Structure 1
Amino acid sequence: AAGAVGLEPGGEIKATVVYPATEKHLQKYLRQEVHLVRETWEDYKNITLPFIQSQSFSIQWVYNILEKKAEADRIIHENPDPCNGFVLVPDFKWNQNQLEDLYLIALIHRRDVKSLRDLTAEHLPLLRNVLQEGKEAIAKRFGVPGSQLRIYLHYQPSYYHLHVHFTALGYDAPGSSAERAHLLEDVIDNLLLDAEYYQKRALTFALRADEPLLKKFREAGRV
């Protein structure tokens, strides 16, 4: 088994247990040195994308949610449009018993957008739907206004199907650090400035010492 133990905002102890735990799970919860990678668009095309395509990252669990084969009773909101729609569900890290560590995930219906790197101005209607409808759904269900939400995307993401994080602003959520989180409103503004913004700029992210992608960047002389 693998997992983590933390102190909840209310003073209670929260534990996450993963069983059965693979080697990847075990490594995730071990303290390791990390390195910052500055990925240019050329790095993405030549290093990161081939690495992603060579791996068998299973996201069937995402499709199961989108197809209502799993967690249908946990859906907070859905826009069923196949191009510009999404499903909003509570993240597994949130037990929904308190609002201090509120955490939800928006999973888009489209299956051709892996990450921030794929986004162009074409996706603005989708991103606006996630932003506006997500805020409205959370305000209606949980009474938390949009001004108290941190709404962002990860790069690198933990799985390659575009998703957006909604967390309580006062919650120091995992992965909300500057080198990983990109605020959704900033992403929208950037795409308005340049339709291919994320196919042009360099992006910074952290990799653990044991991660195979870091090895690829080292082999290419980029770290």
Structure 2
Amino acid sequence: MFGSESGIEWDILSTQTIFGSSSRNMAESAAKRRTDSGGSGDLNVEVKKLKPDHGDGRQEAESGNILSAFKTSAVLNDSAREKIIFIHGKVADQDAVVILEKTPIRQDSLDELFSGSTLKLEMRNDIYSTYRLQAPPHLNEIKTTVVCPATEKHVKKYQRQESFLVEETAEDYQSITLPYIQKQSFSVQWVYNVLEKKAEAERILYEDPDPQVGFLLLPDFKWDQKQVDDLYLLAIVHQRNIKSLRDLRSEHLPLLQNVLQKGKEQILQRYKLPASQLRVYLHYQPSYYHLHVHFTKLGYEAPGCGVERAHLLTDVIQNLQSDPRYYETRTLYFPLRADDGLLGKFKEAGKL
């Protein structure tokens, strides 16, 4: 899935930094906000440094280059196709993961890109020629995400690993998956901070405040919001008792239909993208256990949009209309990485 790439010069101009427990969990979900590549430690860029939060999602910002003293330990993963690299190292003696991702070329910047860049000829043969283009700095950005302090779990999350496809029956969910989820007590406090507007309130694009069918719509951190070609939004529902696809019943149809309809309306209004150009889906397994829906542009191959993990919301709605307990009873398939604790539980049960 991931390859390697060397010899690319990237100027780092846009930086996002994630510190503290609630923001750290947000980084896990969204890497997602990877989701999903090797690296010098001296990154000359002015960034906003976030101090640990106060427990309610509030954070203090100060100016500074937190990466100027970053010491690289290892490249965890990289992708030549996606132009992304995951680096493990230390910032001020604290473990950190730095994610560098080349931002897409924007159509509205093409004229300036062509007129303001310099070209160095590398090869010419008949009608073909190749160049190394040096773009103006403000058109040559790298989105930078910092997870610090990073735990061993974070390091493993971003490390290249083999994946396995798991077959989960309804009985497996009750005897293996659900007990594992409950025992791990995965925190979704960062989600509650967003819902209660204690964190990321300025990023909310739309809210339906209804406690039963309402939701918040906000950009996923993988999207820099500068072009619609890689549009990626999340709808986080207000209901707090729906962990995943497995919990959905016919009683949730009004909620799902509301998210689908109003989400599409907002995207059409804001970004002029019709429903026919959207991919709207849920993940199973999800990266965090609070129901949320992904909205991406159809042509964007977002991490996790493959058939082994993504379930189209329209299919989910139709399945629940035909069988109120569809997701409670059916066998579901999903990929797990080699180091995932849930994969270990399936192996222990003799399911793999």
- Which category describes the TM-score, using the shorter chain as reference length? over 0.9
Task: Return the offset for 1:7.
Answer: 4.0
Partner of 1:206: 335
Partner of 1:183: 312
Q: What number of residue pairs does the alignment pair up?
A: 223
Q: Distance in 2 between matches of 1:4 and 1:215?
A: 28
Task: Return the offset for 1:15.
Answer: 3.8
2:237 is equivalent to residue 142 of structure 1: no
5+ residue gaps in structure 2? 1-95, 107-139
Task: Return the offset for 1:4.
Answer: 3.5
Partner of 1:84: 213
Q: Distance in 2 between matches of 1:174 and 1:52?
A: 23
2:344 is equivalent to residue 215 of structure 1: yes
Conserved? CA contact 1:38–1:203, under 8 Å: yes
Task: Return the offset for 1:128.
Answer: 0.2
Q: Distance in 2 between matches of 1:66 and 1:36?
A: 33
Q: Distance in 1 between matches of 2:306 and 2:250?
A: 26
- Range with bigger deviation, 63-72 or 154-163: 63-72
- After TM superposition, the structure 1 = structure 2 runs for residues 67-216 of structure 1, keeping only pairs within 5 Å, are 67-216=196-345
SS in 2 for 1:21: coil
Q: Which has the larger radius of gyration?
A: 2
Percent of aligned positions that are identical: 65
- After TM superposition, the structure 1 = structure 2 runs for residues 4-19 of structure 1, keeping only pairs within 5 Å, are 4-10=99-105, 13-19=142-148
2:154 is equivalent to residue 59 of structure 1: no
SS in 1 for 2:228: coil
What RMSD in Å do the two structures reach over aligned CA positions?
1.3
Higher relative contact order by CA 8 Å / sep ≥ 6: 1 or 2? 1
Partner of 1:42: 171
Q: Which has the higher helix share?
A: 1
Task: Find 1:25's aligned residue among 154, 167, 177.
Answer: 154
SS in 1 for 2:280: strand
- TM-score if structure 2 supplies the norm length? 0.62
SS in 2 for 1:100: helix
Task: Return the offset for 1:179.
Answer: 0.5
Conserved? CA contact 1:3–1:29, under 8 Å: no
Q: Distance in 2 between matches of 1:42 and 1:8?
A: 44
Q: Which has the higher strand share?
A: 2
Task: Return the offset for 1:129.
Answer: 0.4
Conserved? CA contact 1:86–1:107, under 8 Å: yes
SS in 1 for 2:320: helix
SS in 1 for 2:230: coil
Task: Return the offset for 1:97.
Answer: 1.1
- Range with bigger deviation, 3-12 or 22-31: 3-12
- Range with bigger deviation, 66-75 or 115-124: 66-75
- Range with bigger deviation, 76-85 or 8-17: 8-17
Conserved? CA contact 1:131–1:184, under 8 Å: yes
Task: Return the offset for 1:6.
Answer: 3.8
Task: Return the offset for 1:8.
Answer: 3.6
Task: Return the offset for 1:17.
Answer: 2.8
- Range with bigger deviation, 72-81 or 42-51: 72-81
